[in-house]
Structure 1
């Protein structure tokens, strides 16, 4: 609910009211989306919305929703903006990537951007490597630059440079706010010092959303009750929603 206080207005240039330029709908909440019943409802609702939308955006809550949202959207590729691999055993906010792979998502079409030092065990790094997941660490991202990384991520998750967009199956974008620096995301339980700056995350989100193969996205690990007094984490999440919408608008402008 905290995210809904912000209006989808893109100031430009040029100035654009996204609420008028795009058809935007709020599909409501799913109770307890991290349980079996909630996952089933979330999967079904996303499936219905995805069939009629250019982009479905789910707001968390914790990272466990990535599993049901990506499945509901029938995603064939996955890009994560996350400090962690999310390859843990069991069903939790630390396991959605592993669960998706076990249920048939091709790990060769998974790209994980922002994996951080001192935030993951060597065992999960080896698991990602053994699966063939493309890992772009935080240091790699800053060395290579956002444009280069976005190009590679879309190529890998999209199934190759020569692949044409599939009208039914696309890419899911998982935006875990813990990829950001703790100073800008205190309302994210696992954020640590040294993560992405706000401008870096927003640039990644908007650039990735510009590609029409990105058909679904989530923004997760935002706890408004644990946020700073100025609501900076919620504000960041809201800006990411707006950047997703701006990306969709850019698709239409360049079509």
Structure 2
């Protein structure tokens, strides 16, 4: 068992989305000073570099309903192994994206590790689409459904188990844009969804506290999946699918600080940073700040 160790795993994948650029996300986040910031907080940082990912121009789309399916399966098969190994070794895997399709491998790896983890999913979108409900064919809109055993068998079978999460321990925070069928699928599930209206009415502190309590019931810890598009585009312009009306800079930091206070974070992925669309690396710098808050950085 290694204590106070964070293992960084870069996944420069932009096969799951239509807009190019998130493949540069891991480099942008590192360039914004991630490793140094974490070390200042007393963490030992092991940077594993990046998984090898093909660029879309070198591949053909064989099925427009599941774009780049074979390539995404291959990448997530590799990722789930390295994530599982990290958990078994007692270190915290921190996965840098890349688009959110990488969470298929992250959640598969967590399940393979033998640990039972709750999930808190910060995202504008539900990411609960499947072959039957997708309007775009983009797999970055499917990882939460895949982890719950819904979708193409090539994806749900990664890691050898169909379901990779406990619905009753899974929480979405910050949702404000979902497809109609996706909404209905989520309503039929046991996943808890806190929309932007819930945050407006209850406040971020209450929403996150409820989320931590739900994700902690009978679990060994919490996996945090943070899509930067959950933040308002004024603060995080460098994302592929910006939607007005997101959470604020301080709400995002408060959420991470509360999670740090809980002592329950076992793993984390940070996704959808797109430097091509960014302004002077603003979004990657924000990502570094949020990661630092999640791992113990405080104002005072």
Residue 154 (1) aligns with residue 212 (2)? yes
Residue 144 (1) aligns with residue 202 (2)? yes
Distance 1:7 1:195 in 2: 24
Give TM-score scaled by structure 1 length: 0.83
**Deviations 1:162-206 (Å, cap 9, x if unpaired)?**
x4x53xxx3211101111111122210112221111111122123
Q: 1:222 is paired with a residue of what secondary structure? A: coil
| Alignment gaps of 5+ in structure 2 | 1-26, 55-70, 132-137, 150-161
| Pick aligned residue for 1:236 from 286, 290, 295 | 286
**Deviations 1:38-95 (Å, cap 9, x if unpaired)?**
1111111111112234522101010111121122123532111111110111471000
Q: Is the 8 A contact 2:124 2:229 kept in 1?
A: yes
CA distance change for structure 1 residues 25 and 210 in 2, over 3 Å: closer, same or farther? farther
What residue number does 2:78 align with? 41
Distance 1:223 1:183 in 2: 14
| Pick aligned residue for 1:32 from 53, 58, 83 | 53
CA distance change for structure 1 residues 212 and 67 in 2, over 3 Å: closer, same or farther? farther
Q: 2:95 is paired with a residue of what secondary structure? A: strand
What residue number does 2:232 align with? 181
What residue number does 1:73 align with? 110
Residue 21 (1) aligns with residue 42 (2)? yes
Matches within 5 A, 1:7-156: 7=34, 18-19=39-40, 21-32=42-53, 35-74=72-111, 75-90=116-131, 92-102=139-149, 103-104=162-163, 105-116=165-176, 119-156=177-214
Deviation at 1:7, TM superposition (A): 4.9
Deviation at 1:20, TM superposition (A): 6.2
Q: 1:184 is paired with a residue of what secondary structure? A: coil
Residue 3 (1) aligns with residue 29 (2)? yes
| Alignment gaps of 5+ in structure 1 | 11-16, 250-255
State how many pairs are aligned: 232
CA distance change for structure 1 residues 200 and 9 in 2, over 3 Å: closer, same or farther? farther
Q: Is the 8 A contact 2:28 2:281 kept in 1?
A: no
Distance 2:99 2:179 in 1: 20
**Deviations 1:200-244 (Å, cap 9, x if unpaired)?**
11221232233333211111111112212x221111112122122
My pick for the range that moved more, 51-60 or 218-227, is: 51-60
Q: Is the 8 A contact 1:70 1:216 kept in 2?
A: no
Deviation at 1:139, TM superposition (A): 1.6
